[in-house]
Amino acid sequence: MYRRHFIATGLLSAVTGLAQASTLDSNKAKVNTPARTILVLGDSLSAEYGLKRGSGWVALLEQRLQAEKIQASVVNASISGHTTAGGRSRLGALLAQHRPSHLIIELGGNDALRGLPLELSQDNLTQMTQAAQKTGAKVLLIGMQVPPNYGKDYGTRFAAMFSAVAKANKAALVPFLLKGVADGPDSTALFQADRIHPTEAAHPVMLGNVWPELKKLLK
């Protein structure tokens, strides 16, 4: 009887030990799983200009991540009116502070509005992309297009700037953030009174343009 009790106690201890070890391994795996942070560096299109807080595409991105059970946090460092030069000047401190696993660069539109040289804008985008990649972050460039009144040649070169930077640095690219918004049959309905900034209804479409490319980087 005592021998049977001893054997049973030993088996129970072994099973308990295996269960505890499994739990510890599971907890250890969770601890060792690197937290992912998506840093968004953009202008008014990402900073919810003219919108109620929480309705822009970046806020909708946070909701999408939660819905798809993707473990990642979002830091929106976008500022209305920002240019590529402004983003470049801030990026170093942002990388050091947030240590993002992913960087989304949505800048360049204000460069065009201010008539800044394309070569300067392209250099700024390149430097930002490379700086982030050196820290191990994956980069997603968000492209823009300008209205026809800028001229066909300028418009073509401006749009090509984003793809050139992405290709040269092996970064991901969304060719046009406002696809389905600015090029639709009744695009004015999706813009605020200034005809520059999209309405709240347009932001799910904008996220729809960003999400497929970002999701690939999150795998």
82 given a catalytic annotation = no
Is 183 an active-site residue? Answer: no
Q: State how far the Cα of 107 lies from the Cα of 85, in Å rounded to an integer.
A: 9
Residue 138 near residue 101, CB atoms below 8 Å: yes
pTM, full prediction: 0.85
The pLDDT of residue 34 is 56
pLDDT digits (tens, 9 = 90+) for 34-73: 579 999 999 999 999 999 999 999 999 999 999 999 999 9
Distance CA 138, CA 140 (A): 7
Q: Which of 5, 153, 186, 194 is catalytic?
A: 194
pLDDT in tens, the chain (219 residues): 444 443 344 444 443 444 444 444 444 444 444 579 999 999 999 999 999 999 999 999 999 999 999 999 999 999 999 999 999 999 999 999 999 999 999 999 999 999 999 999 999 999 999 999 999 999 999 999 998 889 999 999 999 999 999 999 999 999 999 999 999 888 789 999 999 999 999 999 999 999 999 999 999
Which entry of 43, 44, 46, 111 is annotated as an active-site residue? 44
| DSSP-assigned letters across all residues of the chain | -HHHHHHHHHHHHHHHHHHHHHHHHHHHHHHHSPP-EEEEEE-TTTTTTTS-TT-SHHHHHHHHHHHTT---EEEE---TT--HHHHHHHHHHHHHHH--SEEEEE--HHHHHTT--HHHHHHHHHHHHHHHHHTT-EEEEE-----GGG-HHHHHHHHHHHHHHHHHHT-EEES-TTTTTTSSTTGGGGB-TTSSSBPGGGHHHHHHHHHHHHHHHH-
User: What integer pLDDT is reported at residue 4 of this predicted model?
Assistant: 47
Q: Which of 178, 116, 170 is nearest to 141 (CA)?
A: 170
pLDDT value of position 56: 98
What is the distance between the alpha carbons of residues 91 and 98, in angstroms, rounded to a whole number? 10
Tokens 């984003």 appear where? 162
The catalytic residue among 55, 98, 187, 197 is: 197
